[in-house]
Amino acid sequence: MLIIAPCVVTLTWRLEDTQGNLIDELAEPLEFFYGGEDLLEKVEEALAEQDTGFHAVLHLEPEHAFGDYDPALVFFESNADLPEGMEVGMQFDGPPPGAKTPGMPASAIYTVTEVYPEHVVLDGNHPLAGIALRLDLTVRDVREASEEEIEAGSVGSSAFTVLNTAPPDTPLH
């Protein structure tokens, strides 16, 4: 079956920065909705009208991956206002409870990047923002999307939206 929207593609990949440093490896095949929000636009373009077994190595500039790094998305919050136990690598879907800085986008996922005695640094950029990437991917399967998947525009695999680069065993809060 050719990859034509809407369908579901099963992929494996190896994601590296341009220096060859491994960022993520998807060795076990995972399904993604093609024609929705599961995949980056440049990935969808590469997969268009391909079939099972297709292999490609893509170079993704930041504007085609997770965007440029925006220093305006870095916030300093007082430890006194935030929950106890803040640690580097913790993540919050939206501003953490108690955050008081006006203008913190509610849609961002904030990563605690530094903890000081008086304040915490929260970064609302995607962990891969500003980084050019090399994606070596292989299509393992292609199938028709179910009505539910078409309606949702996703199979629930949003690995390209948020890669959890926090230390192992650090939950997404």
Q: How far is CA 138 from CA 119, 155, 156, in A?
A: 44, 18, 20
The predicted model gives 114-138 an average pLDDT of 96
pLDDT, tens digit, 9 for 90 and up, residues 31-69: 999 999 899 999 999 999 999 999 999 999 999 999 999
Both tokens of 51, joined, read: 């079939």
Strands 55-60 and 7-17: unpaired
Position 157 pLDDT exceeds 70 = no
The predicted model gives 6-18 an average pLDDT of 96
Both tokens of 145, joined, read: 């999307």
Pair 130, 62: CB distance under 8 Å: yes
Q: Which amino acid is at 98?
A: G
What pTM does this model have? Answer: 0.77
Which domains occur in the chain, in start order?
7-63+132-150 (3.10.50.40), 71-123 (no CATH)
